[in-house]
């Protein structure tokens, strides 16, 4: 077990005093949260605020025959009841496709349906009342008559040639299909010393943000203006969507995200209820609040994963993986999520398989299949856990076929650290990764040889321990090649405004957002260093379209890489302005001055000449004393968009150590190890906590989390008692080590770290469990690895 | 069924102050604290006693305020995170959570603090397994728990005069 605080607060012996970037500093904004002063949308009130509740479909697929809302309208406290028709008059439909995904199709969506429901739990009628309780009471008075339609609740049913079409007029039940081929795949398989194969299944799971989704819309007809307080990662995206779909000028739409109680990708998609709440506020002429309850969250928050992959690899006698061929079938919802679609995960799966390794040929086929289930879309580490598990499971099979140790087979296949820049067979351009160094470091970190010796000794005594490793490549910092090129108005750039206050303090308003990762903390560290002040006088403000410049916000690990570079360049620009004003005051040359700890100093010698506070005082209150023509710009704006490599890539490797109880099928996770390379580390404390949190979400997928449906398309475990998320007693301590390979695309050099933990932890766990079960002749090819599945693999029933 | 009209009187002590209100019998203690008293540090994550975000002290014992009706607290004493922060009772835990970054989004944190406070109040320094067991009814989706265990351990050592290592 780790000792607490094995690293003193803020310690960074390799850094000069006064340097903030690289130092493990706590988050200034966390003090408010530990004092019970959080301000989440669920906590917020607006004057005359009403509350919405929704009547939801009990059927997975049905025609709406009749809706009777009269009794609900007459119920006490009810302000209005709205159906699909009422909101369709206000809100234009949306379609979740991207132009660069050729042939992609999806049915147009409205806030509430007009004719039919396509998943169980879909909101059908909205009731708005003086309290949530009154709204829910009135929901019970709404009568809806349905007529059953055929339900597509599994992949085989939906893919059958004679399957009923989920959408009338569609040729099939495929949202999207894609194929990749590179190199002489068939030849390599024909001539390979070994061909290893696997059919793998990945359960559907969901984000389970502890604060459920929440929104308060306040439409003001007098100004034709809309204010939305929204628990979201992406306020600018929603400003654009609410503006365009409801015809409200963009400049009059404000979206503010205060404290957000977890997101992980869940809170950046369009949800029907959220869109409805905008219209409900317009209809009511009052603020309307809606908070998803936990049961509603399970049937309406995006789900993710749900893949079935048939994979094989051609292996040389020396353990070299020569080629891979995969078929991925993934089950989404009844439509593609807007505006980021439900096809990105599958697309990333087939493009990331094999990514850490030197393949000579690769073939992939992807089918994205409609289901009468909750929509699926991007959730933390989109596609990575599947790609990683497929690759690393095949790697284990290659090791077994050739008699190599898992570390040795990887060492023979990883892209060499001196081979960069290079390109994957799927088209990804890698600037510089550090797989070999990470592999070596993990072996030491785990004390691998000792663990193997211990495993053999314990196995002889009937104790089954397993060791699994899994290397990963993670996609970060997307350019417009990700969404913009496909027509989505999702920004790849970010913007910052930094100002010196009249007292010589600093405010930074930036478009990247905070959901607890520490965005504001790292931006503050960067601004402090590149401006030349102490972190204590920098105030960072995020999450409100009314105050910060437009930007992509926080997703795909872009907060540090793109947001950080934006802040860095803005800070440098402001520093130059400060030194210009100071030079005018001091009758010096700006180039001879520097700003250090909020003091203007002589660059040579460091003599203090003037405080930043004095520069600000003069600029703001005594501009009459400045030399004529002095341009005192103590507020700067800067926008930055990545323009080098289409994506930054990070890399790393996980190790998982488990003990399997073969009698009852339970797995004890003894320890988890990660060596990661996120580029330049701005704050190691925060990087490590991102990795730990990500690992545990991946271990949840590996062992516990699954949205289970019956054949009628009903979610059967939609509560926090039935859907298992990892508890503290089930989770191990997680040992982390770093490599640091900065990207040369930016001055900052950071790449991102939010998804590294989730990308490979389930794959490492799968390999660890299979390693433990190998002496018993059992193997798992499905996650979550529940006790029942483990016992089944062991032939216990 | 409409139950808005029928309210009943409720008096109790919240964070040391006498409080008297009329409440609907179906109002949970969590909703009463959050809505009627605007004590929004107590969070509601599952409304079924699974996640622990709503833990408060009821006569000194941690309870799920989502599983208690407000009227069941008649005559009793409730302490929420707001009160425990104001009295300084949580100061060592607050400091340890902040320094160790034992929170990310912070939504689970109030419930976690209430539970950790009760654990430390037992007197001895719990080992890490005991801490992990004790907070297993508090779901945290962000941190992966290790930092929380570290912070509670450090605060417990401090409370028992050992000082943080």
According to the model, what pLDDT value does residue A411 have?
98
Tens of pLDDT, residue by residue over A401-429, are 999 999 999 999 999 999 999 999 999 99
Residues A560 and A506 in one domain: yes
CB pair distance less than 8 Å for B144 and A692:
yes
Cβ under 8 Å to B: A residues 194-253 = 207-212
> φ, ψ for residue A728 (rounded to 5)?
-60, -35
Residues A581 and A680 in one domain: no
Q: What is the mean pLDDT of residues A52-61?
A: 98
Closest residue, chain B, to A729 (C-alpha): B132
Of the candidates A262, A721, A731, which has its C-beta nearest B145's C-beta? A731
Q: What is the mean pLDDT of residues B20-45?
A: 98
CB pair distance less than 8 Å for B48 and A721:
yes
Residues A659 and A716 in one domain: yes
Strands of the sheet with A494-500, listed across from one edge: A538-541, A506-510, A494-500, A635-640
Q: Is the pLDDT of residue A1 over 50?
A: no
Count of CB atoms situated within 10 Å of the CB of A729: 15
According to the model, what pLDDT value does residue A303 have?
98
Q: Is the pLDDT of residue A298 over 50?
A: yes
Of the candidates B1, B48, B100, which has its C-beta nearest A5's C-beta? B100
DSSP codes of every residue in A460-509: HTT-EEEEEEEEEEEEES--TTTTGGGT----S-EEEEEEE-TTS-EEEE
Q: Please list the helix, strand and coil fractions of chain B in percent, rounded to the nearest 5, in that order.
A: 35, 15, 45
Residue A555 lies in a domain: yes
Domain around A547: 493-640
Q: DSSP assignment, residue B96?
A: H
Of the candidates A5, A30, A730, which has its C-beta nearest B106's C-beta? A30
Least confident of A478-492, A629-643, A746-760: A478-492
- To test the contact with chain B by mutation, choose from A35, A264, A723 the residue with the greatest count of B C-beta atoms within 10 A, namely A35
According to the model, what pLDDT value does residue B5 have?
60
Residue A150 lies in a domain: no
Residues A593 and A685 in one domain: no
Cβ under 8 Å to A: B residues 55-74 = none
Residue A89 lies in a domain: no
- Is residue A256 within 8 angstroms of chain B, CB to CB? no
Query: Which of A673, A689, A665, A668 has the alpha carbon at shortest distance from A753?
Result: A689
Tens of pLDDT, residue by residue over A166-200, are 999 999 999 999 999 999 999 999 999 999 999 99
**Number of cross-chain residue pairs from A and B with Cβ atoms under 8 Å apart:** 200
Q: Is the pLDDT of residue A3 over 50?
A: no
CA distance B95 to B84: 14
Residue ending a domain, choose from A605, A640, A675: A640
> In angstroms, what is the C-alpha Rg of chain A?
28
What angle, rounded to 10 degrees, do the helices at A564-586 and A519-531 form?
Answer: 30
Of the candidates B47, B98, B164, which has its C-beta nearest A4's C-beta? B164
Pairing of strands A538-541, A506-510: parallel
Q: Is the pLDDT of residue B3 over 70?
A: no
According to the model, what pLDDT value does residue A481 have?
87
Under the banding of pLDDT at 50, 70 and 90, the label for residue B2 is very low
Residues A665 and A732 in one domain: yes
What angle, rounded to 10 degrees, do the helices at B109-120 and B146-159 form?
Answer: 40
DSSP codes of every residue in B10-57: EEEEETTEEEEEEE-TT-BHHHIIIIIS--TTS--SSSSSSS-TTEEE
Residues A614 and A689 in one domain: no
Q: Domains in chain B, start-ordered, CATH in brackets?
A: 8-80 (3.10.20.30), 90-159 (1.10.150.120)
Closest residue, chain B, to A294 (C-alpha): B46
- Is residue A692 within 8 angstroms of chain B, CB to CB? yes
According to the model, what pLDDT value does residue B162 have?
78
Residue A578 vs residues A461, A509, A537, A538: alpha-carbon distances, Å: 71, 18, 16, 15
CA distance A753 to A740: 12
Under the banding of pLDDT at 50, 70 and 90, the label for residue A6 is low
CATH code, domain with A468:
3.30.365.10
Least confident of A354-358, A370-374, A640-644: A640-644
Tens of pLDDT, residue by residue over B74-84, are 999 999 999 99
Residues A539 and A618 in one domain: yes
Q: What is the mean pLDDT of residues A281-298?
A: 98
Residues A545 and A678 in one domain: no
CB pair distance less than 8 Å for B128 and A3:
no
Residue A315 lies in a domain: no
Closest residue, chain B, to A297 (C-alpha): B46
CB pair distance less than 8 Å for A719 and B48:
yes
Residue A131 lies in a domain: no
Residue A28 lies in a domain: no
According to the model, what pLDDT value does residue A7 have?
62
Q: Is the pLDDT of residue A4 over 50?
A: no
Q: Is the pLDDT of residue B163 over 90?
A: no
Strands of the sheet with A50-56, listed across from one edge: A78-82, A123-129, A50-56, A288-291, A214-220, A225-230, A253-256
Residue A59 lies in a domain: no
According to the model, what pLDDT value does residue B101 have?
98
Of the candidates A6, A262, A727, which has its C-beta nearest B142's C-beta? A262
CA torsion A294→A299→A304→A308, rounded to 10°? 130
According to the model, what pLDDT value does residue A12 have?
85
CB pair distance less than 8 Å for B101 and A686:
yes
Using a CB-CB cut-off of 8 Å, the residues of chain A touching B34 are: 43
- To test the contact with chain A by mutation, choose from B109, B142, B153 the residue with the greatest count of A C-beta atoms within 10 A, namely B142
Of the candidates B85, B142, B154, which has its C-beta nearest A35's C-beta? B85
**What residues contact residue A408 under an 8 Å CB cut-off, 6+ apart?**
A319, A399
Residue B109 vs residues A77, A749, B66: alpha-carbon distances, Å: 34, 33, 16
Cβ under 8 Å to A: B residues 107-126 = 107-110, 113
Residue A614 vs residues A529, A535, A536, A631: alpha-carbon distances, Å: 20, 19, 18, 16
According to the model, what pLDDT value does residue A494 have?
97
Closest residue, chain A, to B152 (C-alpha): A4
- To test the contact with chain B by mutation, choose from A33, A76, A265 the residue with the greatest count of B C-beta atoms within 10 A, namely A33
- Is the separation of the CB atoms in A491 and A240 below 8 Å? no
CA distance A91 to A745: 41
pTM exceeds 0.95? yes
CB pair distance less than 8 Å for A757 and B153:
no
Residues A574 and A703 in one domain: no
CB pair distance less than 8 Å for B45 and A720:
yes
Cβ under 8 Å to B: A residues 64-83 = 75-77
Residue ending a domain, choose from A614, A640, A666: A640
Residue A316 distance to chain B (closest CA, Å)? 40
According to the model, what pLDDT value does residue A626 have?
96
Cβ under 8 Å to A: B residues 120-159 = 128-129, 131-133, 135-151, 153-154, 157
For chain A, what is the domain count? 2
According to the model, what pLDDT value does residue A644 have?
87
Residue A37 distance to chain B (closest CA, Å)? 7
Residue ending a domain, choose from A584, A611, A640: A640
CB pair distance less than 8 Å for B82 and A36:
yes
- Is residue A9 within 8 angstroms of chain B, CB to CB? yes
Count of CB atoms situated within 10 Å of the CB of A285: 16
CA distance B83 to B89: 9
Using a CB-CB cut-off of 8 Å, the residues of chain B touching A9 are: 99
Under the banding of pLDDT at 50, 70 and 90, the label for residue A794 is very high
Residue B79 distance to chain A (closest CA, Å)? 13
CB pair distance less than 8 Å for B104 and A76:
no
Count of CB atoms situated within 10 Å of the CB of A182: 16
Residues A581 and A519 in one domain: yes
Alpha helices in B39-127 (DSSP H): 81-86, 91-100, 109-120
Under the banding of pLDDT at 50, 70 and 90, the label for residue A11 is confident
Q: Examine residue A784 and say whether the peptide bond preceding it is cis (omega within 30 degrees of 0).
A: yes
Residue A262 vs residues A210, A654, A685: alpha-carbon distances, Å: 6, 24, 19
Residues A690 and A606 in one domain: no
Tens of pLDDT, residue by residue over A211-241, are 999 999 999 999 999 999 999 999 999 999 9
CB pair distance less than 8 Å for B3 and A719:
no
Q: Is the pLDDT of residue B165 over 80?
A: no
CB pair distance less than 8 Å for A264 and B165:
no
- Is residue B54 within 8 angstroms of chain A, CB to CB? no
Under the banding of pLDDT at 50, 70 and 90, the label for residue A2 is very low
Residue A616 lies in a domain: yes
Residues A443 and A543 in one domain: no
């Amino acid at each position: 077990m780790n000792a607490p605080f094995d690293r003193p607060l803020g310690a960074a012996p390799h850094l000069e005093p006064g340097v903030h970037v690289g130092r493990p500093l706590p988050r200034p904004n966390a003090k408010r949260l530990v004092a019970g002063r959080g301000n989440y949308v669920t906590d917020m009130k607006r004057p005359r605020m009403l509350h919405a509740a929704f009547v939801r479909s009990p059927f997975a697929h049905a025609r709406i025959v009749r809706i009777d809302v009269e009794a609900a309208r007459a119920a006490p406290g009810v302000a209005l009841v709205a159906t699909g028709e009422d909101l369709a008059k206000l809100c234009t439909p949306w379609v979740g496709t991207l132009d660069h995904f050729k042939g992609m199709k999806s049915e147009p969506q409205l806030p509430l349906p007009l004719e039919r429901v396509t998943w169980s739990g879909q909101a059908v009628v909205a009731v708005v009342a003086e309290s949530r309780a009154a709204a829910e009471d009135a929901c019970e008075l709404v009568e809806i008559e349905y007529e059953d339609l055929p339900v597509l609740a599994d992949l085989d049913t939906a893919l059958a040639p004679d399957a009923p079409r989920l959408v009338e007029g569609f040729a099939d039940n495929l949202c999207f299909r894609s194929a990749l081929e590179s190199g002489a795949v068939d030849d390599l398989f024909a001539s390979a010393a070994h061909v290893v194969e696997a059919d793998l299944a990945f359960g559907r799971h969901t984000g389970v943000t502890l604060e459920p989704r929440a929104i308060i819309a306040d439409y003001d007809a007098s100004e034709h203006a809309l204010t939305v307080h929204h628990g979201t990662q992406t306020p600018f995206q929603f400003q654009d969507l609410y503006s365009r779909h409801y015809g409200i000028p963009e400049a009059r739409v404000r979206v503010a995200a205060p404290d957000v109680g977890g997101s992980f990708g869940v809170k950046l998609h369009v949800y029907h209820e959220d869109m409805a709440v905008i219209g409900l506020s317009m209809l009511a002429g009052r603020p309307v609040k809606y908070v998803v309850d936990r049961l509603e969250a399970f049937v309406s928050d995006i789900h993710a994963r749900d893949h079935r992959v048939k994979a094989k690899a051609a292996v040389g006698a020396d353990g070299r993986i020569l080629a891979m061929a995969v078929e991925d079938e993934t089950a989404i919802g009844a439509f593609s999520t807007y505006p980021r679609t439900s096809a990105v995960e599958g697309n990333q799966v087939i493009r990331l398989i094999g990514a850490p390794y030197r393949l000579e040929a690769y073939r992939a086929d992807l089918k994205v299949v409609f289901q009468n289930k909750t929509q699926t879309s991007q959730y933390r580490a989109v596609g990575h856990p599947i790609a990683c598990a497929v690759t690393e499971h095949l790697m284990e099979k290659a090791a077994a076929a050739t008699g190599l140790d898992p570390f040795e087979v990887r060492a023979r296949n990883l892209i060499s650290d001196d081979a960069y820049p290079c390109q994957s067979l799927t088209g990804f351009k890698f600037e510089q990764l550090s797989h070999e160094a990470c592999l070596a470091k993990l072996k030491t970190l785990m004390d691998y040889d000792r663990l193997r010796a211990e495993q053999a000794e314990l196995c002889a005594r009937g104790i089954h321990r397993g060791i699994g490793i899994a290397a990963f490549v993670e996609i970060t910092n997307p350019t417009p090649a990700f969404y913009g090129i496909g027509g989505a108005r999702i920004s790849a750039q970010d913007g910052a405004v930094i100002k010196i206050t009249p007292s010589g303090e600093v405010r930074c308003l930036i478009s990247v957002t905070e959901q607890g990762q520490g965005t504001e903390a790292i931006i503050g560290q960067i601004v402090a260093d590149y401006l030349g002040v102490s972190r204590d006088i920098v105030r960072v403000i995020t999450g409100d379209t009314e105050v910060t410049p437009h930007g992509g916000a926080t997703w795909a690990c872009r907060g540090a890489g793109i947001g950080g570079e934006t802040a860095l360049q803005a800070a440098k620009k402001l520093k130059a302005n400060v030194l210009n004003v100071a030079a005018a005051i001091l009758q010096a040359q700006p180039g001879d001055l520097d700003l250090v700890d909020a003091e203007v100093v002589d660059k040579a010698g460091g003599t203090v000449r003037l405080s930043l506070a004095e520069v600000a005082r003069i600029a703001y209150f005594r501009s009459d004393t400045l030399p004529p023509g002095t341009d005192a710009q103590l507020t700067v704006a800067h926008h930055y968009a990545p323009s080098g490599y289409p994506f930054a890539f990070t890399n790393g490797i996980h190790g998982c150590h488990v003990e399997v109880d073969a009698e009852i099928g339970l797995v004890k996770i003894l320890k988890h190890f990660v060596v990661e390379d996120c580029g330049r580390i701005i704050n190691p404390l925060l990087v490590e906590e991102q990795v730990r949190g990500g690992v545990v979400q991946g271990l949840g997928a590996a062992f516990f989390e699954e949205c289970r449906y019956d054949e009628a398309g009903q979610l059967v475990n939609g509560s926090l008692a039935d859907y298992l998320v990892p508890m503290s007693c089930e989770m191990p301590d997680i040992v982390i080590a770093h490599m640091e390979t900065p990207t040369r695309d930016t001055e900052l050099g950071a790449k991102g770290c939010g998804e590294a933990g989730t990308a490979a932890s389930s794959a490492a766990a799968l390999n660890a469990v299979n390693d433990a079960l190998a002496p018993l002749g059992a193997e798992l090819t499905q996650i979550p690895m529940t006790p029942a599945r483990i016992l089944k693999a062991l032939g216990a029933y | 069924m409409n139950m808005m009209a029928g309210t009943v009187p409720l008096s109790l002590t919240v964070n040391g102050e006498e409080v008297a209100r009329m409440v609907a019998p179906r109002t949970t203690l969590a909703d009463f604290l959050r809505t009627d008293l605007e004590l929004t540090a107590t969070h509601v994550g599952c409304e079924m006693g699974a996640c622990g975000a709503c833990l408060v002290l009821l006569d000194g014992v941690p309870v799920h305020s989502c599983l208690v009706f407000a009227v069941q607290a008649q005559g009793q004493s409730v302490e929420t995170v707001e009160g425990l922060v104001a009295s300084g009772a949580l100061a060592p835990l607050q400091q340890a959570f902040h320094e160790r970054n034992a929170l990310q989004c912070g939504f689970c944190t109030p419930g976690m603090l209430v539970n950790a406070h009760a654990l430390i109040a037992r007197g001895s320094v719990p080992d890490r397994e005991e801490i992990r067991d004790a907070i297993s009814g508090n779901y945290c989706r962000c941190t992966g728990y290790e930092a929380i265990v570290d912070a509670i351990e450090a605060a417990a050592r401090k409370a028992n005069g050992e000082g943080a290592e």
